[in-house]
Amino acid sequence: MRLPQHINTREKVIVVDPNVHAWGAYDANGNLIRAGLATAGDNWCEDVGRPCRTRAGSFRIYSLGSASCKSSIYPLPNGGAPMPYCMFFNGNQGLHGSPYAVEGNVSHGCVRMKVNDAEWVRFQFARPGTKVIVRPY
């Protein structure tokens, strides 16, 4: 089990744990209702010459995108990387689908999920204001 079956919460929450490469959706009673593979930010991104770790902390989703969501930044210099079902929670950091969701932290800071998981979270779970907790590395 990568994530606990139950957490203490009084609201829906998405938990991302970069240490075990997993995300989980918890209902308002704290019960895990769905979980999957998560690829968080890399320790170092050569193309930008800096760490790219996903910032740890508690955030709120403020923007929900469609299947055609694309990065405005990556790849450098003009962006365009597909980010289906993007859900932004911290500046340019968000949850999104990717065929490159792997068991490792190799992103530029976003949290990659399998595309079908991102679609489920986007349409069946997340709303503007949904809490996202990113655990420390």
Query: Tens of pLDDT along 48-63?
Result: 999 999 999 999 999 9
As a whole number of angstroms, the distance between CA 39 and CA 77 comes to: 23
Domain 13-134: give its CATH code.
Answer: 2.40.440.10
As a whole number of angstroms, the distance between CA 126 and CA 40 comes to: 19
- Cis peptide bond N-terminal to 4, omega within 30: no
- Cis peptide bond N-terminal to 84, omega within 30: no
Q: What is the pLDDT of residues 73-99, one digit of tens each?
A: 999 988 999 999 999 999 999 999 999
User: By the 8 A CB rule, do 13 and 132 touch?
Assistant: yes
- Is the pLDDT at 10 greater than 80? The verdict is yes
Report the pLDDT value the prediction gives residue 1, as an integer from 0 to 100: 66
CA distances (Å), 62 to each of 59, 86, 100, 129, in order? 9, 11, 24, 6
Mean pLDDT computed over 31-35: 99
